Amino acid sequence: MKTLCYILMLLTGIAVPSCMNTLATAGTPQEAACRLNASDDSRERRSTATYVAIPGLPQCLVTTYHSVRRLPNIEIQFGNRGDNIKIEEIVDGWYRSASHDWAAFRLTDEGARLLQSKGKKPLTKTAMRIPGQYVAIAGNPTVRVLGKDSTPFNYVTGGVFNGVFPFSETIGNEYLSRDHDGDPLVSLLEADEVVYGFSGGPICSTSSNFLSDCQLVGILQGGDPIVGNDGQPVGSRKCWGVPSESIVGELRTSAEWGTFPPSQWSPRIFLANAFADTDRLINRNYPLLFESGKIAINRKSLRQFMTTTVAIDASGKITGSTTLEVGSFAGFRGKVAIVVTDGIGRVLHRSPEGHEYGHQLVRYENGKLIREATRKESWEESMNADLVNEVRRVRIIQEDSPKSLAEILGEAVTTVEGNGIKIPVFKELELALPPSR
């Protein structure tokens, strides 16, 4: 049926309704996020659900259990109130996780088509992020603009992924419900703009253009508030979520779909007002890992590539691993250098020397022709150990060797002067800062 629908769409240019559910285009964080309003006769709660369509699983809306617990009336809201959808109109089952604070609503085919017709697109892939890399987070917070509160739909902000840790080592067992037996994993993040309303929103992998090729890292669960002058929370130093592998694994192996609302509400797993113990975490973020991705050197048509991974430990030792890859007989020499920055792009360290390596597909050695497509080299640098806690980004610069180190670093760094102090910063600040909208 899928093949027939796809052929019809190619021939006619018209989307066949019965195909839309299976041929959903992968979405961005904003397209995958859905504003939820859950209520009963006396209260209501605004949160976010994440639209996912992972191969082998039914299309679902996933959110935090605490956002919908004891609130049987759930509505998906859009900018035009007339477009709002009641949850019972588009789902035929729901599942509440036995091990973590999340729940999933299973979409009907018609329900998936209705969501897609209103501009929603699911996330179709999952990813595990490397500590130190950036993620995009979507939610439905209240923000203050020009002295007035506003609630933008599916607002996207950026954060830094710290890693996946046991709940007991991050938030602490004192915040687990007495009825819960276990130690769930949580994805720990740093994200200054995350406030109430982000619960259940997607945490997504990012690239140089963070809206492309998004993959689900997890859903946002809670955070430590930064309190403003008026006593209201304005952001989170630390926040955490449910890892995508926990969600997908449980849906694949143990999901038993029931009706919503349930006849009896299960207790919540996490107690309210749980806070991450930052002091307890300080030594768990090492080594910080950063990766360049595969970079084409010279001309991509020659299939010449470099990939570099950088690790920084608590002592300031920087360990790099560079892989050179060739797929043609044209060899090359490549050079790599790094610039280490804090969260606003201020330079904390830069390579004192470039690391230069050559590689060719075939070489003559000891009377024999040896063919090797890849070459791996390790290198080391060191930075001030007192600055390691401020590291948020490593810009890995890989270039053809004819460029000098001064040219490479000069293209990436400039100097900003303020109050008589000169500070080196990135020229391309969008590469150093978490994306936001």
* Closest to 100 in 3D by CA, of 240, 258, 280, 204: 240
HEC assignment per residue over the chain: CHHHHHHHHHHHCCCCHHHCCCCCCCCCHHHHEEEEEEECCCCEEEEEEEEECCCCCCCEEEECHHHHCCCCEEEEECCCHHHCEEHHHCEEEEEECCCCCCEEEEECHHHHHHHHHCCCCCECCECCCCCCCEEEEEECCCEEECCEEECCCCEEEEEEEEEEEEHHHHCCHHHECCCCCCCCEEEEEEECCCCCCCCCCEEEECCCCCCCCCCEEEEEEEEEEEECCCCCEEEEEEEEEEEHHHHHHHHHHCCCCECCCCCCCCCCCECCCCCCCHHHHCCCCCCEEEECCCEECCCHHHCEEEEEEEEECCCCEEEEEEEEEECCCCCEEEEEEEEEECCCCEEEEECCCCEEEEECCEEEECCEEEECCEEEEEEEEECCHHHHHHCCEEEEEEEECCCCHHHHHHHHEEEEEECCEEEEEECCHHHCCCCCC
- pLDDT for 419 equals 47
Angle at the Cα of 203 (from 92 to 160), degrees rounded to 5?
A: 170
β-pair partners for 205: 135
- Window from 145-149, 230-234, 392-396 with minimum mean pLDDT: 230-234
CB-count exposure of residue 2 (10 Å: 0-12, 13-18, 19+): exposed
Does the pLDDT of residue 382 top 80, yes or no? yes
CA distance to 290, 294, 432, per residue, from 396 (Å): 8, 11, 11
Task: Read off the pLDDT band of 81 (50, 70, 90).
Answer: confident
Mean pLDDT of 343-356: 80
Contact 330, 297 (CB under 8 A): no
- pLDDT for 186 equals 86
**What's CA 48's distance to the chain center, in Å?**
16
Does the pLDDT of residue 2 top 60, yes or no? no
- pLDDT for 20 equals 37
> What is this structure's pTM?
0.60
Name which residue leads in pLDDT, 296 or 147: 147
Contact 394, 340 (CB under 8 A): yes
* Closest to 123 in 3D by CA, of 56, 47, 206, 213: 213
Does the pLDDT of residue 68 top 50, yes or no? yes
- pLDDT for 407 equals 56
- pLDDT for 396 equals 81
Across 14-23, 132-141, 398-407, which has the greatest mean pLDDT? 132-141
For 288-431, CATH gives: 2.60.40
What CA–CA distance (Å, rounded) separates 76 from 262? 19
**CA neighbours within 13 Å on the CB side: how many for 232?**
9
List all residues 6 or more positions away from 366 whose beta carbon is below 8 Å from its beta carbon. none
Mean pLDDT of 126-135: 79
Q: First and final CA of the chain: distance in angstroms?
A: 40
Mean pLDDT taken over the chain: 75
- pLDDT for 33 equals 96
Mean pLDDT of 92-109: 92
Domain locations in the chain as residue ranges? 1-285, 288-431
What CA–CA distance (Å, rounded) separates 49 from 400? 45
- pLDDT for 10 equals 36
- pLDDT for 167 equals 80
List all residues 6 or more positions away from 318 whose beta carbon is below 8 Å from its beta carbon. 310, 311, 312, 338, 340, 349, 380, 381, 382, 383
Share of the chain above pLDDT 70, in %: 66
Name which residue leads in pLDDT, 387 or 297: 387
Name which residue leads in pLDDT, 373 or 178: 373
Task: Read off the pLDDT band of 225 (50, 70, 90).
Answer: low
246 backbone dihedrals φ, ψ, rounded to 5°: -70, -40
- pLDDT for 12 equals 37
In tens, the pLDDT along 9-61 reads 333 333 333 333 444 567 889 999 999 999 988 888 999 999 999 999 999 99
In tens, the pLDDT along 165-212 reads 888 777 777 777 766 667 888 888 888 778 788 999 999 986 544 455
Contact 372, 386 (CB under 8 A): no
What CA–CA distance (Å, rounded) separates 162 from 241? 11
Across 121-130, 362-371, 395-404, which has the greatest mean pLDDT? 121-130
Q: Does domain 1-285 have CATH number 2.60.120.260?
A: no
* Closest to 184 in 3D by CA, of 270, 266, 105: 270
In tens, the pLDDT along 247-286 reads 999 999 877 899 998 988 888 777 655 544 443 333 334 5
